[in-house]
Amino acid sequence: MRRAIIFGSLAIVVIAIGVVAAGYFYVTGYYKGTGPLQEARTVVLERGSSARTIVAKLEDAGVIENGRLFLAGLWLEGGAGQLKPGEYEFPASISPKDVAAKLIAGDAVVRKLTIAEGLTTAEILALVEAADGLKGEVGTLSGEGLLLPETYHFAFGDSRAELIARMQTDLTKLIEELWPKRAKDLPFESAAEALVLASIVEKETGVATERPKVAGVFVNRLRLGMALQSDPTVIFAITKGSGPLDRALTRKDLGIDSPYNTYKNTGLPPGPIANPGRASIEAALNPMTTDALYFVADGKGGHAFANTLEEHNRNVAAWRRLNN
């Protein structure tokens, strides 16, 4: 009788082990097998979501077929409690195991926002406001030359205010890096003034190789006490940084009463007229040594430089002929 009981107990244990083994292989087979997605899909898993909420959303999106088996496989693999919310892109047929690996690693979609050099603060704030995937208010920011134009990467749900703060911090770090490397005997004494000049250089030319020479012309004018006579400063005086001027400048515009009008005032204007990029800041701090005092558009996307007014007038006449 006792022997029968022992054999019966062993049989139960063997069966139990077999059931557990079968369950294990069934779960792991599902977990490592081909997933149900027919095509790539992006799914946003909100911050603060629990593991069950995440799994339910993956199941609803068709990324996984069975949430319970997914959680079981996750537990067997030691990944329970490690799923990170975010925005994820899943390829077709991705296995539940690879889905879990993505979420555990936080391999989320990285978004980017490119801020072009020379935009005003108002224009940059508008871009951040319109950027899909960011959350929260942009906030208010007064003045130019406060933000570093660059390509910024962010994740879905990041804060707009934090992205703006990054732009400010990056500009501060750049100035701290470049200011000690400036040329000697520049006609300005502070990094703030360098940003003013850099913003003018940025707006005057989009040709990278010209920036140091344009900066050199303005530095020569500052040293001689000549007015900078920069059209972009007049445009800023008119628009106050709200955006581009939707017409050509007139002779009347050049007489506008504003501290930013560098046709009426000598020296640098009281502040930047835009947000300059690294290359223009470097140009302002290390301008090209040149005898040029003038430049005008050459009709080919660049500028013609001149050392004398007579030579400059010839360049202006040539530009007018091309422009007409």
In this prediction, residue 3 carries a pLDDT of 57
For residue 5, is it within any domain? no
List for the chain the helix, strand, coil content (%; round to 5): 50, 10, 40
The boundaries of the domain holding residue 41 are: 29-105
71-75 long-range contacts (CB < 8 A, ≥24 apart) are: 72/27, 72/31, 73/27, 73/28, 73/30, 73/31, 73/32, 73/97, 73/100, 74/31, 74/100
Tokens 């972009």 label which residue? 232
Is 36 part of a structural domain of the chain? Answer: yes
Question: Could you give phi then psi for residue 87, rounded to 5 degrees?
Answer: -105, 120
For helices 160-178 and 191-204, give the axis angle rounded to 10 degrees.
110
User: Residues 195, 297: one domain?
Assistant: yes
State residue 319's pLDDT score. Answer: 87
Q: Within a domain: residue 15? A: no
Q: Mind listing the pLDDT tens digit of every residue in the chain (324 residues)?
A: 555 555 555 545 444 454 444 445 556 778 888 999 999 999 999 888 888 999 999 999 999 999 899 999 888 887 778 899 999 999 999 999 999 999 999 999 999 999 999 999 999 999 999 999 999 999 889 899 999 999 999 999 999 999 999 999 999 999 999 999 999 999 999 999 999 999 999 999 999 999 999 999 999 999 999 999 999 999 999 999 998 998 999 999 999 999 999 999 999 999 999 999 999 999 999 999 999 999 999 888 899 999 999 999 999 999 888 877
How many domains in the chain? 3
pLDDT of residue 2: 59
Q: Which of 86, 105, 124 is the last residue of a domain?
A: 105
Task: Note whether 276 and 315 are same-domain residues.
Answer: yes
Q: Measured between alpha carbons, how far is residue 66 from residues 61, 112, 230 in Å?
A: 12, 34, 67
What is the token pair recorded at 105?
Answer: 């690693």
C-alpha to C-alpha distance for 232 and 229, rounded to whole angstroms: 9
Are 265 and 203 contained in the same domain? yes
**Range list of β-strands (E), 30-119:** 41-45, 86-90, 111-114
* Residue 80 falls inside a structural domain: yes
- Whether residues 84 and 127 share a domain: the answer is no
In terms of domains, do 227 and 294 share one? yes
In order, the DSSP letters of 6-25 are: HHHHHHHHHHHHHHHHHHHH
Residue 191 lies in a domain: yes
Residue 11 lies in a domain: no
Specify the pLDDT at position 290.
96
pLDDT of residue 113: 98
Residue 103, SS3? Answer: helix
Taking the C-alpha atoms of residue 135 and residue 144, their distance in angstroms, rounded to an integer, is 24
- Cβ 10 vs Cβ 2: under 8 Å: no
**pLDDT value at position 7?**
52
Domain end among 130, 150, 173: 173
- In a domain? residue 118: yes
3-class SS at 43? strand
pTM for this prediction: 0.84
CA-based angle 154:89:63, to the nearest 5? 145
In a domain, 281, yes or no: yes
Token output for 27: 């779960």
Do 167 and 101 share a structural domain? no
Of 265, 167, 284, 274, the residue nearest 219 (C-alpha): 284
Residues 201 and 305 in one domain: yes
Torsion region of 157: left, alpha or beta (phi above 0 gives left; psi -120 to 50 gives alpha)? left
Place of tokens 């369950």: 23
